[in-house]
Structure 1
Amino acid sequence: MADAPETLDALQARHRKEQRDLVSRITQKKKQASKKTRKGVNDECERLERELKERQARELVLHNGDTPDEAPALSEEEHEAYEGNAGQVNEAAKAVEALSIASATPEQPAPEQNGSRKKPNRAKARLARRAAEQDALVAQAKEEAANMPDLREQERTRMEQHFGKYGVEVKEIRPDGHCLYAAVADQMETRGLGLKPRIQVKIQEGEKLPDYKRVRYAAADLIESNPDDFVGFMEEPLGVYLQKIRETGEWGGHMELMALAKSYGVKINVLHSDGRVDKIEPGADVQDKDAKEIWLGYYRHSHGLGEHYNSLRKVS
């Protein structure tokens, strides 16, 4: 049995929910944007607003009985009314930047002509009613944005509270997909451990690689030399996985940290904002008393790309 057609009330309710969801999504994106990512985030938010506005306007016209090929463009008055309504979504997203929201101008009654009133424009009245309802949603979204926790700042504050306990300070690593490897390279070099792994790295003689890439090769070679310890955790062929580690900006995770701990014979401590420390051991062939330690900080909210690792240097 075919689904029943969507009623006008249901269509309007769905549109309001989509707009509320977009307000929340845009607000969170803009609060988490850094100086480097802000332009890209703003462009993405404008695209999301534009796409939602165009789709909802199209759905509203089609609901009146037009087919996709026959649906006329909105009249100038309808377009202006809809623009005023959809513009409220963008204003709510900008609430985090303390911009004011222009209030809607009440519609003036049409003047009488020859003793009779103009026939009311039902589409315009319907859009104006939705705009009035949107005012309440904007006010609610603005209040929610003001009360929304700043996850980025909370995470940084909590991390800093744990630094003193372990005698470390943060060294910011560029969030470019190589952060895990660059953070390990920084730790190995600043602690005087060097980047020479315990097994031969497969690079051509005389080839010069940046430090983070030397660490990538060390992780890949260890995994390639001990495939039985790792292939069970892979969702793709071993060769493809190794190529991504060596030659791309694919993010590293726990499996690569395990490989690096064994390759360099070090204990890797990963500090989380809740105070938890993941300890990744170098393997049974390295005695605890002989194992050197390096420290990384794990962040979930502080960088635009998502999960991120920083180097935690010992305080001198």
Structure 2
Amino acid sequence: MEEEAVETAEELLAKQHRKEKKELQAKIQSMKNAVPKNDKKRRKQLTEDIAKLEADLSQKHEEESMHLKSTVITKVEETINGVETLKVEDGEEEQFKQQRVSKAQRRRDKKAAQDKERETRIAEAEVQNLQGVRHQEGLKLAQKLAQQQLQIKEISSDGHCMYRAIEDQLAQRAKPELTMTMKELRSRTADHIRNHSDDFLPFLTNPNTGDMYTTDEFDKYCSDVEHTAAWGGQLELKALTQVLSLPIEVVQADSPNIKIGEEYDGEPITLVYMRHAYGLGEHYNSVERLKDPTNAEES
């Protein structure tokens, strides 16, 4: 009879846990739907918030399961010993448990206070961000891209963003002859600039003197393009259109789109140029086909 009662309690608890998980998933889905997919900062914060919600629920379920098991063990021992309560020798172990629970509660209270303070800071930052130039730039870009049935595809900000964005664009075409890695794109770009110095050297000047690059400076520039995370710009884009024999279109928020290599046929490679992305400033992203908002997020 005791065994049947234990099973019933476990089943009820498991049922409650399943219900709470389902409710949490519904809440998470609602949170996802409320945040624009191209708002990287809010998406990152959303991921952290979701992880915290899931961790809190998991901890709650674990504590409830442990409490149930503890209650069952206590009842079994009471039955075996024929007493109403489980005696603890000298009261030392019971006192230790009370102290441990007290410390655990203090830790939970401290964590709750820290979480509340963090949420307040996030809310304040979000209000500021809604009026910030980065947020406004993102909105304008989203509107421009939507007219072409496109949306931003985020690229990591590591100094290679322009090359990684082009790598992504080529991969989306599913044409093996066009596929290149970021390193291959850098190498091909550097080689092309080296081999066509008359076309590129006049546009490269020493920032301190304003004079055209010397031969050594030009060689170092090409080496940096190939071997470092040197940021790519319009000269490198020009070289890449010639390397790939494809046009490149750069979408900007507050200026007309830049088109490079219009002499080439084929579907243009489309990049998004952002002046105010992240704390580093300028950044390139890729694009992808605009997704149906109802299917963009799945739990």
In the superposition, the TM-score normalised over structure 2's length comes to 0.49
Larger radius of gyration: 2
Q: Which has the higher helix share?
A: 2
